[in-house]
Structure 1
Amino acid sequence: MSRRAQFLEVLGIPTEWVPRERADAQAEAAPEVAVAQAAMPVAEAPVAEVAAVVAAPAAEPAMPVPAPVAPPVSRAPAAPALVPAGPEPGSAQADREAAIASMEWPALDAAVAGCTACGLCQHRTNTVFGVGDRQAEWMLVGEAPGENEDLQGEPFVGQAGKLLDNMLGALGLARGRNVFIANVLKCRPPGNRNPEPEEVAQCEPFLRRQIALVKPSVIVVLGRFAAQSLLRSTTPIGKLRGTVHSYEGIPVVVTYHPAYLLRTLTDKARAWEDLCLAREVHDRAGAGA
């Protein structure tokens, strides 16, 4: 089995469908590919080579992989409509954000549980604070709780959560052990609708404080709204992928939301590329420490 096939199988794609002409080309190239793959076991493949294998067309023979080159770091564009401008100095909202920014974990947890700053509190079953290692080097940020998350009070449960757990397992990570998982919003929008700007403005200070307390080495952002909120960008997620962004000096890698991947299986391979990029960034940060 090729390395590409093994990686896709980890993400739940045991079989790939390709056009007939590509399948014929793959059959002709198979002996050369097999020889190249035998020269390097999967377990020893560096991260840069993993990403290269996933991205390369299966019909082409394996080529020597150049030395890893640091991906470009983006400059955050102007604030989008999703995230309103910051509060006026001296306003009640500015005072609230300053208070949240000084909270430690117990006070922050209690503030989220009792928050009534926007109308989402009227419909929630549970707030969804976040879960995991509060000193983790990895932090994952999603958009907002869904129905299952609202019922259980934990982010990324149900089928999307299972897929995310599989993705984390492929990186040697596990929920509750060496990663912290949170959302931009802590309450579920009715009907799982998109977050509204005022809701993001009220809830985002909690996420900013969580990031400041965790102090992760890398942040993986899951989905368009989370990416646009954290990066203050209106750029589509397809263009945010593949680049290392920055939030308060912390490297940020953007990928698709697990719920989207359940509907769009063809993008699972791209999500794996994003995770490989995040692992490369994490490993570089550790080497430079």
Structure 2
Amino acid sequence: MTNTPSVDRIIRDIHHSLVHLKESGCTGFDCSSRSLEILGGLGWPATETSGKHDETLADIRADLGDCTRCGLSASRNHIVFGEGAENARLVFVGEGPGFDEDRCGRPFVGAAGQLLTRIIAAMQLTREAVYICNVIKCHPPGNRDPEPEEIRHCLPFLKRQLAVIRPRVICALGRVAAQTLLDTQAPISRLRGRFHDFMGIAVMPTFHPAYLLRNSEKKREVWEDVQQIMKRLE
């Protein structure tokens, strides 16, 4: 059976592209080299997605398989691929699975995950309507930060997930996710509060829910970031 995109999705993709072109300073349809360059950035190039523009999340999960590409495979219990709507307008990206996530194979199910669920509900959304995943798919021992080599192996799969979903906004949860997506070493305190770009998708970095559990005074700033996301999704 041919997997034909819905009219709603086609319209949403066109709108997404036009908005990004406007924000990038391009007007009209003169097919200038600058416009073509920006459009190329919106299309998730073949070098990023292995040319599989019609693949599904299930295809990517099958390709990931019982991954042994890095040393994390030796200590993990489950690969945590991600979950949610394949056509979600909003994707949350964390740094990696924690202890609880490793035990059950689902993202954000521990105390931080429960807080994220409440944040999603405050946005008048559900976990089923968004997509939730991480930069890396396996739990780092001792909840340490992912190492560059681990990120290098996992990041192509995240890019392919985002290419399939084509969300309107990515919410990068925490320092590691934000720095990885934006290829920067800037602190999360400087990155949050404004939109950035990744693969032609608007990215809003904000504090990780686990950080909020230890620093409740930062919840106001997260809510400010979330309100910007809600406005962008309107």
Taking structure 1 as the reference length, the TM-score comes to 0.63
Residue in 2 that maps onto 1:37: none
Instruction: Tell me if 1:225 matches 2:173.
Output: no
Report how far residue 114 of structure 1 moved. Answer: 1.5
Aligned counterpart, 1:112: 64
2:155 aligns with one of 200, 204, 207: 204
Structure 2 residue runs without a partner (length 5+): 1-22, 25-46
- Specify whether residues 220 and 204 from structure 1 end up closer, same or farther in structure 2 by C-alpha distance, changes over 3 A only: same
For residues 189 and 151 of structure 1, the distance between their equivalents in structure 2, rounded to whole angstroms, comes to: 13
Alignment of 1:157 onto 2:109: yes
Higher relative contact order (CA 8 A, sep 6+): 1
Q: Residue 225 of structure 2 aligns with which residue?
A: 274
> Which residue of the partner structure matches residue 235 of structure 1?
186
* Whole-Å separation in 2 of the counterparts to 1:244 and 1:101: 28
> Which runs of 4 or more aligned residues in structure 1 lie more than 2 Å from their structure 2 counterparts after TM superposition?
96-107
The answer on whether the counterparts of 1:112 and 1:186 sit within 8 Å (CA) in structure 2 is no
Distance 1:107 1:248, change over 3 A: same
The number of equivalent residue pairs is 190
One-letter identity of the residue aligned with 1:187: C
How far 1:100 sits from its partner (Å)? 8.6
Aligned-partner Cα distance in 2 for 1:121–1:220: 27
2:48 and 2:160 in contact (8 A); partners too: no
CA deviations over 1:195-243 (Å, ceiling 9, x no partner): 0000000000010000000000111110000000001111100000111
1:173 corresponds to: 125
- Quick one: percent identity of the two aligned structures? 47
Q: Distance in 1 between matches of 2:88 and 2:56?
A: 16
Q: Which runs of 5+ in 1 are unaligned?
A: 1-72, 75-95, 284-289
- Following superposition, the deviation at residue 106 of structure 1 comes to 2.2
Match of 1:133 in 2: 85
Question: 1:251 and 1:98 mapped to 2: Cα distance?
Answer: 19
Match of 1:262 in 2: 213
What is the CA-CA distance between 1:112 and the residue it aligns to?
A: 2.6
What is the rounded CA distance, in whole Å, between the counterparts of 1:236 and 1:179 in structure 2?
26
8 Å contact kept, 1:127–1:150: yes
- How far is 1:140 from its partner? 0.6
Question: Which structure is larger by alpha-carbon Rg, 1 or 2?
Answer: 1
Take 1:180 and 1:97, find their aligned partners in 2: how far apart are those partners?
20
CA distance in 1: counterparts of 2:51 and 2:122, whole angstroms: 35
Residue 122 (str. 1) matches residue 104 (str. 2)? no
CA deviation vs aligned residue, 1:115-138 (integer Å, no higher than 9, x gap): 111000111100000010111111
Which residue number corresponds to residue 82 of structure 1? none
TM-score, normalised by the number of residues in structure 2: 0.77
Contact 2:92 2:131 in 1 (8 A): yes
Q: Distance in 1 between matches of 2:138 and 2:72?
A: 6
Distance in 2 (alpha carbons) for counterparts of 1:270 and 1:249: 25
